[in-house]
Amino acid sequence: MKKEYLIYKLSEEMKEAARIDNELFSKFDVKRGLRNEDGTGVLVGLTKIGNVVGYERVPGGGLKPIPGKLFYRGYDVEDIAHAVLKEKRFGFEEVAYLLLSGRLPDKEELSSFSELINENMPLEQKTKMNIIELEGNNIMNILARSVLEMYRFDPDADDTSRDNLMRQSIELISKFPTIIAYAFNMLRHATLGRSLHIRHPREKLSIAENFLYMLKKDFTELDARTLDLLLILQAEHGGGNNSTFTVRVTSSTGTDTYSAIAAGIGSLKGPLHGGANIQVADMFHHLQKNIKDWTNEKEIDAYFTRMLNKEVYNKSGLIYGIGHAVYTISDPRALLLKELARELAREKGKEREFAFLELLEERAIATFGRIKNNGKTVSSNVDFYSGFVYELIGLPQEIFTPLFAMARIVGWCAHRNEELTFEGKRIIRPAYKNVLEEENYVPIKER
């Protein structure tokens, strides 16, 4: 039997073996995707780290949509972000301290923490050389391999004591920007024949500033402050998002930090999770080319109608960047990012493009409500503006999802530490109902 035919045959048999009747899910009350019938997540744990709020319960058990809120350790992220923006300073390090420790640092603590982050940004020489020598065009894979490589250089890699977990957390948060910047410059060199730049992180710079310096050297203050805001907004999003839950599941086995974080990276890489901002950017470019009058609401509505009816664009029936699993009336991250996006568009001379994106947001929500007519309240999410902002800063699509990981490593570490430090910890093991009848084994000569 030819190998190609055998693979095809196995593939067809796999398709049949994986088929499960839909009515069985209802019969056994299976929470597909760990979701309840009303779309809310199945409660599987407790946390004191992040809280994502998009609705409230009403008498009778229904859900009432409310403006979205995101809390880090009980603090409203809007308050944190507005304070940072007002004072024109960098806040990602402060958020990292808060999420890791559970409280806000004072000036001296924040200064010492920032210095510690900066000291840990350089990579081991062997890790640096491995990044340079790696082939492939996906930086998320390079990031995962580099994290696993860190295990080799950690003399206490398997130690899950509190002190060691915190040390590892700080080192991971510090090294992610360096790994991603070096990986992109390697990719650019390998695929485009450009010069290979390895810039060492500089003292006294924030994580956002150092990343932009290592990646492309030249940037404006507004570029760095906008990236810093994005890192703040994406640092944490509750324990139920797929990548964070993946980190908690793997951590519950007692595995080492690097294996758990690599698993989280693998989850975030998926297009249904961390790759949404790329899809929004692609959709925006498509609409720029296919909408003749960027101010014509009727033309935009007509095109979105065709998109929802799977007639144009990629025929998925989706408008990317619209809707969220929890947020209903608004995504607070999108509202905050929109404030700086407008300012950044003005600096880059892209005000017309920003006005078009803003109108697309308005008409997408209106068209979705009219076409779907299902009573569901939707809003734009953070991805609707993040891809646009990344491009204004001059960041390539290859690092959009790695940048998400650069922010979310803080939340991943906080949740891993909580999972392992909690005295009542148990390995996470949900159940799957087997719906196949038992079979009698048939000897091979009788098959």
Catalytic residues: 324, 383
Give me the DSSP letters along 215-231.
HHS---HHHHHHHHHHH
| C-alpha–C-alpha distance, residues 154 and 204, integer Å | 26
Q: b/e for 120-159, b at 16 or more Cβ within 10 A?
A: bbebeeebbebbeebeeeebbebbbbbbebbeeebeeeee
| C-alpha–C-alpha distance, residues 386 and 392, integer Å | 10
| C-alpha–C-alpha distance, residues 258 and 81, integer Å | 30
- Specify whether the CB–CB gap between 381 and 70 falls below 8 A: no
Identity at 272, one-letter amino acid code: L
* Strand bridging mode 50-57 / 63-72: antiparallel
| C-alpha–C-alpha distance, residues 288 and 330, integer Å | 25
Max CA distance (Å), the chain: 79
| C-alpha–C-alpha distance, residues 351 and 337, integer Å | 15
| C-alpha–C-alpha distance, residues 223 and 199, integer Å | 19
Region of residue 327 (left: phi > 0; alpha: psi -120 to 50; beta: else) = beta
Is the C-alpha dihedral spanning 392, 398, 400, 403 positive or negative? Answer: negative
- Specify whether the CB–CB gap between 57 and 39 falls below 8 A: no
Helix residue ranges, H only, 349-399: 351-372, 383-393
